[in-house]
Structure 1
Amino acid sequence: MSKLKALLVVLLISFSVSAQEFMARVTVDYSSVQASNNQVFQTLEKSLSDFINTTKWTDSRYKVHEKIEANFLIIITERSSTTYKGRLQIQTRRPVFNSTYFTPILNFVDNNFSFEYTEFEELIFNPRKFSNKNLTDVIAFYVYYALGMDADTFQLEGGTNHFKTAQQIAMNAMGTSYSGWGEMDGNKSRGSLINNVLKPTNKTLRNVYYQYHRVGLDAMSENESRAKNAIGNTLETLNFYSSGNYALFYPLDIFFMAKKDEISKIFGGGMMSSVNITAIKETLTALSPTNSSIWNNLKK
């Protein structure tokens, strides 16, 4: 009986570990600040890692290979007692079907990150209430944003519920003393970002995420030319954003920050496709002119 109990305990532990959604690495870079006690940063690093990786963020069951691989890099630029200011870089990726390749989903920086933290304090998050310290709120916001983005690559608009949770977190933070949440803080604020993600005008971009990954990349091992056609054709639909007031449409910038190098590799060699590469170049250059040197080198 004792062996049976031990086996059940092991199985329960294994299930609880594999049930969580993230396999995240948290790094706190404090090289820019002078401090007599640097241990607090190491404690923060571990606490946030545990917070992200052991919290059950959804009702879904994630197998080990389904976990979202992520990097959260916090660069501390100012410290005053228990108040910290800095930047937060978020990177996530997901595996491509029937391959050893991982495709980047997110790779961007939030430059407006400030929070309160006392060493060894318990990190508590309530999706219905602001914490008054901003730390877990910002991290949880991006956790749900990352969950939504990942889900959108597997199912058309599959991340909507996660995005709505992120939107609620942003609404909870509105009117607090912490900047970076409200639309008055600019188009890159968390509130602006998530509101734009959920706008009907973003459906084109969300469809691109699905077509690019599920119909394109995930089919690459089966038929490379057909997969490249799917990716190229869906990139061309981004022409929707060439007209209208989309010059500062941050969700589109986030797409290019994560995907520019990958697009270059996809259309840099390998099997020929039948896409209209001239039209694709024109669309991408119009939307992301800072990467024109990359787009100019694309080929079928």
Structure 2
Amino acid sequence: MNKIKLLIVCLMVTAVASAQEFMATVTVDYQQVQGSNNQVFQTLEKSLRDFINTTKWTEGRYKIHEKIEANFLVIVTGRSGSTYQARLQVQSRRPVYNSTYYTPVLNFVDANFDFEYTEFEELIFNPRKFSGKNLTDVIAYYVYFALGMDSDTFQKEGGTPYFNIARQITTNANGSRYTGWGEIDGNKSRATLINNVMKSDNSTLRNLYYQYHRVGLDGMSDNETKAKNTIGNALLTLSFYQKGNYALFYPLDIFFMAKKDEISKIFSGGMMSSVDIAGVKEVLTALSPTNSQLWNNLKK
């Protein structure tokens, strides 16, 4: 009987462990803050890690190998009592089929991450209501943003349900005293970002995520030349953004921040492709001129 009870408990624990969506690391960097009570930052770090990894964010069930690997780096730049000024770096990656390689999906920084936190307080997220403290709201926004981006790499516009929740979080934050939420806060604000992601103008970029990852990278082990052609042709579709006023289109910046080094490596050697590499260079240089040195070195 005891063995049966133990087996049931183990199965329950396994079910819970496999239900959550994230396998995230959280780091709180407080080197810029002077003070004697550093324990609060260590407590915050653990609380955020548990919050991200144990909250059930979706209705789906994720197996261990399906969990999203992500890094959340909170860089605290100031503190006054229970109020903190900080930046947040968000990174995520996903495995490439039939390989040991992980491809980066997100790698960017939110410079407006001020929040309130009292040590040992329970971190709770309500998708229908702003917390008033900004901590769980910002983290949940980027959790759903990461879920959406990851899903877009596996299915055409598969991330739409998660992007919708992220947009609802920005609506909840309307009128709050925290900056970084509203469109008035600039092209990198959370509302502007999620609205641009959901615009019909962004369907080209969202389709690129699917072609680049699911059709391209995931097919690399079967046929490298075909995969490189797929990736190169997907990059050529970005010419759409040369025709309009997309100089401040942040979703494009996010793509290049995550993928620039990988694109360079894909087109630096290996099997030769038949892609129009001159066209790829032209498009990438026009849209991301700060990385022109990388683009100049691309080859078939």
State the TM-score, normalizing by the size of structure 2.
1.00
Written as runs of structure 1 = structure 2, the 5 A alignment for 1:129-168 is 129-168=129-168
Letter in 1 for 2:12: L
Deviation at 1:15, TM superposition (A): 1.2
Query: What SS does the corresponding residue of 1:56 show, helix, strand or coil?
Result: coil
Residue 206 of structure 2 is aligned to residue 186 of structure 1: no
Identity within the alignment, %: 75
Written as runs of structure 1 = structure 2, the 5 A alignment for 1:146-295 is 146-295=146-295
Cα offsets for 1:59-90 (capped at 9, x unmatched): 00000000000000000001000000110000
Deviation at 1:58, TM superposition (A): 0.2
Letter in 1 for 2:220: M
Aligned residue number for residue 23 of structure 1 = 23
Letter in 2 for 1:170: T
State the TM-score, normalizing by the size of structure 1.
1.00
Aligned residue number for residue 71 of structure 1 = 71
Output the CA distance in 1 between the equivalents of 2:90 and 2:29.
14
Number of aligned residue pairs: give it. 300
Output the CA distance in 2 between the equivalents of 1:56 and 1:98.
28
Written as runs of structure 1 = structure 2, the 5 A alignment for 1:62-141 is 62-141=62-141
Output the CA distance in 2 between the equivalents of 1:271 and 1:12.
48
Letter in 2 for 1:43: T
Cα offsets for 1:211-257 (capped at 9, x unmatched): 00000000000000000000000000000001111000000000000
Deviation at 1:174, TM superposition (A): 1.1
Please list every run of 5 or more consecutive structure 2 residues that lacks an aligned counterpart in the other structure: none
Query: What SS does the corresponding residue of 1:61 show, helix, strand or coil?
Result: coil
Query: What SS does the corresponding residue of 2:148 show, helix, strand or coil?
Result: helix
Aligned residue number for residue 57 of structure 1 = 57
Residues 48-57 or 14-23, more deviating: 14-23
Deviation at 1:2, TM superposition (A): 1.8
Query: What SS does the corresponding residue of 1:28 show, helix, strand or coil?
Result: strand
Cα offsets for 1:1-33 (capped at 9, x unmatched): 221111011011011111100000000000001
Output the CA distance in 2 between the equivalents of 1:60 and 1:285.
40
Output the CA distance in 1 between the equivalents of 2:230 and 2:150.
19
Query: CA RMSD, aligned part only?
Result: 0.4
Output the CA distance in 2 between the equivalents of 1:173 and 1:36.
33
After TM superposition, which residue ranges in structure 1, 4 or more long, deviate above 3 angstroms? none
Output the CA distance in 1 between the equivalents of 2:135 and 2:84.
10
Query: What SS does the corresponding residue of 2:284 show, helix, strand or coil?
Result: helix
Please list every run of 5 or more consecutive structure 1 residues that lacks an aligned counterpart in the other structure: none
Deviation at 1:188, TM superposition (A): 0.2
